[in-house]
């Protein structure tokens, strides 16, 4: 497995913060554990160690809601088959999708749920070596777990043609 460095994570997440999570990283204490989180309305990345290279802000979220959401989703056991970073980037290139305007193009994970391909790429790169767990249904957020932390990605409500 590729060694994960603070610099590598910072490089991957820097663009995400700039375009989708402009506030930056905030520190949060949950059940005696300190996490460093990034969030927008579609995903949450919860890192176990700080990434000083990223901008930091004060926490404005209610921690008990986040804690309950992670606890509920982390109980899932069936693993989803995620693409590799290389495969997902090739798929994005093949479909001619731009990050600034993904349009209605979605990625179908494991023939089960649809997600924004760039948000999935951010999760896979931001949590290297992650495993994603199959949610209870296609409308439920997907839980990701890695050595460096965990995260949640909301699916896209999509009706295929």
Domain assignment of residue 161, yes or no:
no
- Identify the residue whose tokens are 């951010």: 122
Domain assignment of residue 54, yes or no:
yes
Mean pLDDT of the chain: 84
2: pLDDT confidence band, cut at 50, 70 and 90? very low
DSSP 78: P
- Asked whether 106 and 115 are in contact (CB, 8 A), the reply is yes
Cα within 13 Å of Cα(156), Cβ side? 18
CATH of the domain at 51: 3.10.150
Domain assignment of residue 159, yes or no:
no
Domain with 142 in it? 6-153
CA dist., res. 151 & res. 12, Å (int): 15
pTM: 0.86
Domain assignment of residue 111, yes or no:
yes
Dump pLDDT digits (tens) for 20-33. Answer: 555 678 888 888 89
- Asked whether 40 and 150 are in contact (CB, 8 A), the reply is no
- Taking CA atoms, 121 is separated from 57, 71, 100, 117, in Å, by 24, 23, 14, 6
Domain assignment of residue 62, yes or no:
yes
Q: How many domains does the chain have?
A: 1
Domain assignment of residue 130, yes or no:
yes
Domain assignment of residue 98, yes or no:
yes
If 0-12 CB within 10 Å is exposed, 13-18 middle and 19+ buried, where does residue 69 land? middle
Q: Which of 7-11, 72-76, 110-114, 143-147 has the lowest mean pLDDT?
A: 7-11
Domain assignment of residue 1, yes or no:
no
């Amino acid at each position: 497995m590729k060694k994960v460095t603070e610099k590598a994570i910072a490089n991957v997440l820097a663009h995400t913060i700039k375009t989708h999570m402009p506030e930056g990283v905030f520190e949060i204490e949950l059940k005696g554990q300190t996490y460093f989180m990034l969030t927008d309305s579609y995903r949450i990345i919860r890192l176990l160690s700080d990434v000083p290279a990223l901008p930091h802000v004060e926490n404005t979220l209610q921690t008990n809601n986040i804690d309950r959401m992670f606890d509920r989703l982390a109980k899932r056991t069936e693993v989803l088959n995620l693409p590799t970073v290389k495969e997902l980037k090739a798929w994005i290139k093949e479909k001619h999708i731009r990050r600034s305007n993904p349009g209605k193009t979605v990625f179908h994970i494991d023939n089960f749920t649809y997600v924004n391909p760039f948000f999935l790429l951010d999760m896979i790169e931001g949590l290297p070596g992650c495993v994603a767990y199959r949610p209870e249904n296609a409308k439920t957020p997907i839980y990701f777990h890695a050595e460096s932390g965990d995260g949640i990605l909301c699916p896209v409500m999509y009706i295929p043609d």
